[in-house]
Structure 1
Amino acid sequence: MAKTYRTGGEDVHALLGIDLDVHPGELVMVMGPSGNGKTTLLNCLSGLDDIDAGTVSVDGVDLFAMSDADRTRHRARRMGFIFQAFNLIPVLSAAENVELPLLLTGASPTQARKRAADMLARVGLADRGGHRPGELSGGEQQRVTVARALVAEPALVWADEPTGALDSRTAAGVVDLLREVHAAGQALVVVTHDETLGRTGQRLVEVRDGRVVFDGAPDASATATAEVSA
C-alpha cells in the first residue's frame, strides 16, 4: 500500500510499500516519530483516506473497490474510531453522538437510544448523556468517543492518540477501557506516542519515513525511548 500527498507542486510520499495484517482480537500498537506516517497509515487502513497503490481488505472485502457510500456503511458496521481531538458533534448531546453509528446501520431511534444509554453507563457516564460536548471535561469527552466507537460492537477499533490530550490520571482510565475492549475480543489498532502504552500491546509496529521498520513483540524492539517519543 502506498500514499502520496501532492502539495505545492511537490510529492510527499507518506506511505511506501506498507504490508500489514491485523488479526481478529489482536491488540496492535503503532509508534514512531511525529510526521512519519502513523496517522496516515491508520486513515488509509480504515478507508478514511484514499490510497494511491495497493489494496486494503477488511473481512475479505476490498475497501477501495466499494463506492464511498458502501465504504461508509461498512465502516459503521465493522469499525469504531477513537480520535485524540474527540471529533464529537458539538450541537448534539453525548447520547446523540453515541447513537450515530447505530442510526447509520439502520437501527431504530428507540434501539439506538437504549444502546447508547447502556454504553454510556459502561464508560461511567450514565448521568451525562444529556450534556453536550462543551459541557463535559476532556476525559468525559474521550469516554464519549470510546462509547461511540464501541456501541455498534465493531470487530475492529482504530484509536489515534487516544490519550494524547489527557492528563495522566484521565489517560489511565481510558487505557483501562481499551484493555476491557480488547479483553472482550475486539481487535484494536492504537497509534500512540506514549511508550508505556505502546509496549502494553501484543504487537508493536514502528513506522519511520512512511515504512514499517519493526513489526513484532514489544520487548523485541530496540528503539530507544527518546527516539520513539520524538
Structure 2
Amino acid sequence: MTAPQPLLEAVNVRKVYRSGQVSVVALHELSLTVHAGDLVAVMGPSGSGKTTLLNCLSGLDDIDAGQVMVGGADLFAMSDADRTEHRARSMGFVFQSYNLIPVFTAAENVELPLLLVGTPAGQARRRSLEMLDRVGLAHRAGHRPNEMSGGEQQRVTVARALVARPAIVWAVEPTGNLDTAMAGQIMALLQRLNAEDGQTIVLVTHDPAIGAAAGRLVRMRDGRLAADEAVVPVTAGASAPTLG
C-alpha cells in the first residue's frame, strides 16, 4: 500500500534574525513532516525556536533557506498575496491572547474568516453558529468578549480557527492564559476535534500536561529538533464540553 502523502513537509528550513551586524540563527536546517490527522505538540525551553518554527511553517514569517510544502503547495514559491490567500483558506490559528475583536459578538468573531474569503453572509453566519455549538457555546453567540470568561473566549478562538474547515490548525500556547482546569478543558476540546473530525493540529506549549495530551511530541533545543516521538496521549479535562 502506498504511504499517504504528507499534509505538511518542511525540508532544511533555515531562519536567521538580523539586527545591525548581529545575526542569530533561529532554525538550523530543520526538517519536519506532518500527516493529516496528526495532533502534534512542540515543546522546548524559552528561546528554543518553537514559535519561530510555527511562524515559518505557516508562512507568517519568511525563511532564509529550505522548502515548506502545505497541501502540495510550496509556500515560499508563492507571492505574498497568494501565500496570504492560501493561509486564509487552508489554515486556522489559535493564539494565547485570543485576538478577538472586542466590539464583535462571538458569532461575528467566528464568521469573520469566512467573510474575508467571500463566503455569503447568510452562509457564514450559519456556519459560525454551527461551530459555536460544536465547542459548547451556542448560548453565548450574542455575547462580546468582555462578557465571557477566559475559557469561553479561547473556545471562541478555536471555533474561529475551525470554521473555514482548514487543512491544519496552528495553536501557539493556547492554554497559556488559563488556569489548570480551563487549560484541561481546552486541550480536551482539541483532542476531541482531532479524534472525531480528524482535524490536524500543531501546537506550541510549555506545559508538560498539554504536551502529554498530544499523540506526537516534538522537542526543540537551540533551533534544532532534539526529539520527535509518538506518545500515548493522556486524556485532558474530563469536564470539557460534550461535542455534538
Pairwise same-fold verdict (TM > 0.5) = yes
Tell me the residue number matched to 1:112: 124
Q: Secondary structure at the match of 1:56?
A: strand
1:47 aligns with 2:59: yes
Tell me the residue number matched to 1:14: 26
Tell me the residue number matched to 2:78: 66
Report the residue type matching 2:201 in the other structure: L
Q: Could you list the runs of 5+ residues in structure 1 that have no partner in the other structure?
A: 220-230
TM-score by length of 2: 0.86
Shifted more, 71-80 versus 109-118: the winner is 71-80
Q: Could you list the runs of 5+ residues in structure 2 that have no partner in the other structure?
A: 1-12, 233-244
User: How far, CA to CA, are the matches of 2:63 and 2:52 in structure 1?
Assistant: 10
Shifted more, 184-193 versus 1-10: the winner is 1-10
Tell me the residue number matched to 1:187: 200
1:98 aligns with 2:102: no
Q: Among residues 131, 139, 162, which one is paired with 2:143 in the alignment?
A: 131
Alignment root-mean-square deviation, CA: 1.3
How far 1:197 moved relative to its partner? 1.7
Q: Secondary structure at the match of 2:123?
A: helix
Q: Among residues 45, 62, 69, which one is paired with 1:57 in the alignment?
A: 69
Tell me the residue number matched to 1:201: 214
Shifted more, 42-51 versus 123-132: the winner is 123-132
How far 1:96 moved relative to its partner? 1.3
TM-score by length of 1: 0.91
Tell me the residue number matched to 1:23: 35
Tell me the residue number matched to 1:38: 50
User: Which is richer in strand?
Assistant: 2
Shifted more, 44-53 versus 122-131: the winner is 122-131
- State the identity as a percent: 65
How far 1:190 moved relative to its partner? 1.2
Indicate the structure whose relative CO is greater, using CA pairs within 8 Å and at least 6 residues apart.
1
Contact 2:48–2:220 (8 Å) recurs in 1: yes
Poorly superposed stretches of 4+, deviation over 3 Å: none
The number of residue pairs the alignment matches comes to 219
